[in-house]
Amino acid sequence: MHDFVVVGAGPAGARFARSAADRGRDVLVLEQGEIGLPLACSGHVSLDVWEYVPDEARDELFQNDIYGARFHVGGPETAGEPFYKREVISNAIDRVGLDKALARAAGDAGADVRDEHTVTDVEERRDRVVVTASGPDGVDVHEARMVVGADGPRSRVREACDLPEPREFLHGVLGFDTEPDAQDYVDVHLTVPRFFAWRIPRGDDGVEYGLAAKPGDDVSGRFDRLCEEYGVTLDRRCSGLIPIGPPKRVTGHRSLLVGDAAGQTKPFTGGGILYGMRAADHAAREVNPEWPATLDDYEDAWRSELKNEIRLGHAVRLAYSLPRPVQRAGLRALSGEIAVHMDRPSTLFTREGLRALVGR
Ligand SMILES: Cc1cc2nc3c(=O)[nH]c(=O)nc-3n(C[C@H](O)[C@H](O)[C@H](O)COP(=O)(O)OP(=O)(O)OC[C@H]3O[C@@H](n4cnc5c(N)ncnc54)[C@H](O)[C@@H]3O)c2cc1C
């Protein structure tokens, strides 16, 4: 019997598998398709991402350095208010390559990572979990002490283990223009109800355009208009769901959720790569598969690191719904050099963060 069966080899599942295997656990990872595909993510991340990536993968994943963002209360024709640092804030990276590098690292640590295996059923019993998967050679049944649902926003594990859903889902859509662009700024357009549209320069890999909105709120029409306003015709488009607001519980009797399955994302950007991996590390450290009571320790640990940031992230997101004149005045007053970490809105309230805001 395995210690853990991990469903999904995205960043959260692969990171959990690596951390748990490093601790000597027997870990089986089942991924439904080719690792990293289909792409549905900008791969715009804080520099913290490099703590999780093996050194040798760094050069192949890096695309562009980002120093700041221009916030627009309107489309590309409006002047944006710049928020920036003198040093690099974030990177645009190859997201497909990231998943592959993280899965390789999990395999190197001793996890058994199998792609092309779709989990179709999960049964939690008193003393074990039984996971059914279909793969190239037919249907397999795996037994483990625990199952880890790292299977993204529409998690099958979450549903099978009767765990609650995240509070909200957004529908994100993005597309790529091949024209190289290595400028230092991303553009953010506060033109979408309760969220935003974006433009990310990706160096030699071109430019990405995207937006996220409530599902059903004319997401593709809005995206077409964004592309028209920028005067671009995109050859590659993709889309995915973004969960916002983790549910009250992400653990069951012998089950736990990590990453998007658990709604571990930043409410003000939808970014979940780093929160998911941080939570995965807590899970691997706290959960002893022989002792289901340790699942509570995982709940406590990840919430104590991320709960406050997520709460502040919700507060930041409220600003996207302010009346336009207030947004304009606020952006004008606050723009300039900042000292905020892009994953931690709490850094706004550090001495350095406040000094940067009031000292201009
Ligand atoms: C348009 C868009 C842009 C985004 N941009 C960013 C960004 O710039 N920065 C950022 O940090 N985040 C971004 N995100 C969010 C980010 O993509 C997610 O937070 C992140 O992928 C979550 O990782 P995960 O491992 O939890 O889930 P996922 O990456 O979704 O991985 C889940 C894995 O589970 C597999 N799976 C699902 N069901 C099964 C099954 N039944 N059996 C086996 N395998 C299964 C899937 O194939 C997938 O590989 C974006 C999201 C969207 C939609």
Does pLDDT of 236 surpass 90?
no
For residues 217 and 345, membership in a common domain is answered with no
69-73, 162-166, 346-350: least confidently modelled range = 346-350
Structure tokens at 274: 């780093």
Q: How far is the CA of 206 from the centre of ligand 1 (A)?
A: 22
Index of the ligand 1 atom closest to the CA of residue 33: 47
7 vs 27, 31, 137, 229, 348, CA distance in Å? 11, 6, 18, 41, 36
- The answer to whether 161 touches 122, Cβ cutoff 8 Å, is yes
Q: Are residues 195 and 255 in the same domain?
A: yes
Distance (Å) from CA 117 to ligand 1 centroid: 17
Residue 71 and residue 81 in contact, taking contact as beta carbons nearer than 8 Å: yes
* Helices 95-109, 11-22: crossing angle, 10 deg rounding: 20
Assess contact for 177 and 206: CB atoms under 8 A: yes
- Looking at the structure, tell me whether residues 338 and 195 fall in a common domain: no
Give burial (CB, 10 Å; 0-12/13-18/19+) of 314: middle
Could you tell me the distance, in angstroms and rounded to a whole number, from the CA of residue 81 to the centre of ligand 1?
31
Are 313 and 336 within one domain?
Answer: no
- pLDDT tens-digit series, residues 139-149: 999 999 999 99
Q: 348 and 315, same structural domain?
A: no
Cα 137 to ligand 1 centre (Å): 26
Residue-level pLDDT at 354: 60
Do both 271 and 328 map to the same domain? Answer: no
CB 184 within 8 A of CB 67: yes
**Quick check: 358 pLDDT over 60?**
no
The reply to whether 104 and 197 lie within a common domain is yes
Q: Which residues contact 140 (CB under 8 A, 6 or more apart)?
A: 117, 132, 133, 134
Q: Which residues line ligand 1 (CB under 6 A)?
A: 7-13, 30-33, 40-45, 118-119, 150-152, 156, 172, 174, 210, 240, 242, 259-261, 265, 270-274, 276
* Nearest residue by C-alpha to atom 29 in ligand 1: 10
How far from the centroid of its chain's Cα atoms is residue 310's Cα? 13
* Domain identity same for 284 and 307: yes
CA 188 to chain CA mean position, Å = 18
pLDDT tens-digit series, residues 248-284:
999 999 999 999 999 999 999 999 999 999 999 999 9
Q: Residue 332 sits in which domain range?
A: 321-358
Name the domain count of the chain. Answer: 2
Kindly report the CATH number assigned to the domain that includes residue 165: 3.50.50.60
